[in-house]
Amino acid sequence: MTSTEKTPVKVAIIDLYNGHPNQGMRCFQDILDRYKTQHQLNLSYEVFDLRGNNQIPDLNFDVYISSGGPGSPIDSEGS
């Protein structure tokens, strides 16, 4: 069975870095890309900039991964 015939796996990556430079987001994507290749999965991901652009994933994803980020997410409330 090829990866296109396998059940799709949708991953939401929630970015909480609020625009700060970081390696975490790149690493999440690299890990998912390697895992997809090694296991021949039909895996896709989408990045959501929650603190910077108020992007929130819907409930149609199979996996949700959240980054850390600078400071407390509560401190940026209302900004």
pLDDT at 77: 59
Closest residue by Cα to residue 17 from 5, 26, 6, 4: 26
Distance CA 12, CA 72 (A): 21
Which tens digit of pLDDT belongs to each residue from 19-48?
A: 888 888 999 999 999 999 999 999 999 999
Which tens digit of pLDDT belongs to each residue from 51-71?
A: 899 999 999 999 999 988 776
Distance CA 26, CA 10 (A): 18
Q: What is the DSSP string of 10-72?
A: EEEEEE-STT---SHHHHHHHHHHHHHHHTT--EEEEEEEHHHH-----S--SEEEE---SS-
pLDDT at 74: 67
pLDDT at 69: 76
pLDDT at 72: 66
pLDDT category, 79, cuts 50, 70, 90? low
